[in-house]
A = this chain, B = another copy of it.
Amino acid sequence: MAKSSKPGSSAATKARDAVTHKKIVTMAEGVAKRALGGKEPIVAIPTRARSNTIWNKKKGILQMGEAAQERQLFNLNQAKSFMQTMLHSSSVKDLIGAEKTLSLRGMFYKGLHTVAGTKEKTFADQDESDGILEDLEVSLGALREELHIFAKKAGTVVGNITLIDSGDEIDCRRMGSGGYAIPSIVEPDVIQFKKCEAKFVLHVEKNTVWSRFNEDRFWEKHNCILTEGGGQPPRGVRRLLRRLNEELGLPIYCLLDCDPWGHYIYSVIKQGSISLAFESERLAIPDAKFIGIRAKDYKACGLSDDVQIDLNDNDIKRAREIAAYPWFEGHKGWQREIEGLLSNGFKMEVESLITKDISYVTEEYVPQRLKAKDWLE
């Protein structure tokens, strides 16, 4: 096994950090230069809003447009956020120097203090701090992970792959019933892929479903990697899936509930989200496949009415919104799927397949769909 090393101290990390460090220094120098030249200090922050989100049909991902806002020091409405941006930039520089990472909550506390000579706090709450960090990501063109900031982690993995995490060799074939917990930061300097026989990734929504697949050793029988993201997968999970897809060429099959929430999760995995459109280039997986649950399964699998969960008004509204997403709008398969959901009038969960048999989903449903190449994409 490789020697354990302190996370963040590898040569690859140092190289990556040098790039991020330079970006921060360049931004700071720009501000300083203007100030010393008698001009008002400003930073340009690309606009993170639906209005500045573009659907790149060719790439199949959501992207951020060109709109940007200037953040000025001598503007009463912007002075605070200008200073917050500088404050967090400085903290990130500290983190890089210290070779440490910090949580979003931690960043809030690190930046929090009373502005000298006033009773004003630097941040009103963590939301304000998180927003500034997203601004920083966009304006520096650096992932949050590259800024040494992590979030709450969620999600686990098992399967036919060996990873290196911070120098430790993780054999995902031998992770028992628990699995390896996917960290929040999975950039190449932290996580490397060592040996992979797997031919695809099966990503499921819930960790209870994951446990069913793991117990039935689906990944061993079908030579794959099995992941879950605790519902809507956090960035760490999405980034890992993206890297497995991009670097190892593995197809990503998503097994999600037949409801607007399942469709939304798929959409985010595939095309990215509006709020993180600036990260789609590194998070979205345009060729991710939706293997089920499908609206047609009620009849196709001969399910009983026990599996039906009535659609409520909000579900119907959400389903129509999702059908109108530009990337679903022109897609016949998805239009039919959402129409099927609406005409069924009910949702179905992956776990409802247990009404057929405990292992129906692992032994029949997914293998049949894979064999028949029956999925939406």
Whether a CB of chain B sits under 8 angstroms from the CB of A178 is yes
Q: Provide the bound-state CA to CA distance between A40 and B15, in Å.
A: 77
Tell me the chain A residues, 1-37 only, with Cβ under 8 Å from chain B.
Answer: 1, 4, 6-8
Tell me the chain A residues, 319-362 only, with Cβ under 8 Å from chain B.
Answer: 349, 351-352, 354-355, 358-359
The 8 Å CB contact of A358, one of B105, B110, B156, B211, is B110
A-B contacts, 11 listed (Cβ < 8 Å): A100-B215, A100-B216, A100-B358, A100-B359, A103-B211, A105-B351, A110-B355, A113-B306, A153-B178, A176-B183, A178-B181
Q: Does the CB pair B181–A170 fall under 8 Å?
A: no
Residue in B closest to A206 when the chains form the complex, CB atoms? B152
Contact with B along A178-207 (1 / 0, CB 8 A): 111111110000110000000000000011
Q: Which listed segment binds B: A79-87, A160-168, A277-285?
A: A160-168
Whether a CB of chain B sits under 8 angstroms from the CB of A76 is no
Report if A180-B183 is in contact (Cβ < 8 Å); known contacts: A109-B307, A109-B355, A168-B174: no
Q: Does the CB pair A177–B165 fall under 8 Å?
A: yes
Q: What is the number of residues of chain A that contact chain B, defined by CB distance less than 8 Å?
A: 68
Q: Does the CB pair B112–A355 fall under 8 Å?
A: yes
Residues of A at the B interface (CB closer than 8 Å) are 1, 4, 6-8, 95, 98, 100-106, 109-110, 112-114, 121, 150-153, 156, 163-170, 173-185, 190-191, 206-209, 211-212, 215-217, 304-307, 349, 351-352, 354-355, 358-359
Q: Does the CB pair B180–A165 fall under 8 Å?
A: no
Residue in B closest to A240 when the chains form the complex, CB atoms? B178
Q: Does the CB pair B170–A178 fall under 8 Å?
A: yes
Report if A179-B181 is in contact (Cβ < 8 Å); known contacts: A152-B206, A207-B152, A358-B110: yes
Q: Shortest beta-carbon distance, A142 to chain B, in Å?
A: 19
Q: Shortest beta-carbon distance, A153 to chain B, in Å?
A: 5
Q: Does the CB pair B358–A102 fall under 8 Å?
A: yes
Q: Does the CB pair A103–B212 fall under 8 Å?
A: yes
Residue in B closest to A307 when the chains form the complex, CB atoms? B109
Q: Provide the bound-state CA to CA distance between A25 and B360, in Å.
A: 27
Chain B residues near A112: list those with CB within 8 A.
306, 355
Q: Does the CB pair A106–B167 fall under 8 Å?
A: no
Interface hub of A109, A151, A349 (most chain B Cβ within 10 A): A109
Residue in B closest to A164 when the chains form the complex, CB atoms? B176
Chain B residues near A98: list those with CB within 8 A.
358
The 8 Å CB contact of A102, one of B7, B105, B349, B354, is B354
Q: Provide the bound-state CA to CA distance between A300 and B110, in Å.
A: 20
For the complex of A and B, list the 8 residue pairs with the smallest distance between their C-beta atoms, beginning with the closest: A165-B176, A103-B208, A178-B183, A168-B174, A181-B181, A168-B176, A109-B354, A177-B183
Residue in B closest to A153 when the chains form the complex, CB atoms? B207
Q: Does the CB pair A351–B109 fall under 8 Å?
A: yes
Q: Provide the bound-state CA to CA distance between A96 and B215, in Å.
A: 14
Q: Shortest beta-carbon distance, A298 to chain B, in Å?
A: 14
Report if A4-B102 is in contact (Cβ < 8 Å); known contacts: A109-B355, A150-B211: no
Chain B residues near A103: list those with CB within 8 A.
208-209, 211-212, 351
Chain B residues near A173: list those with CB within 8 A.
4
Q: Shortest beta-carbon distance, A208 to chain B, in Å?
A: 4
Residue in B closest to A210 when the chains form the complex, CB atoms? B153
Residue in B closest to A305 when the chains form the complex, CB atoms? B114
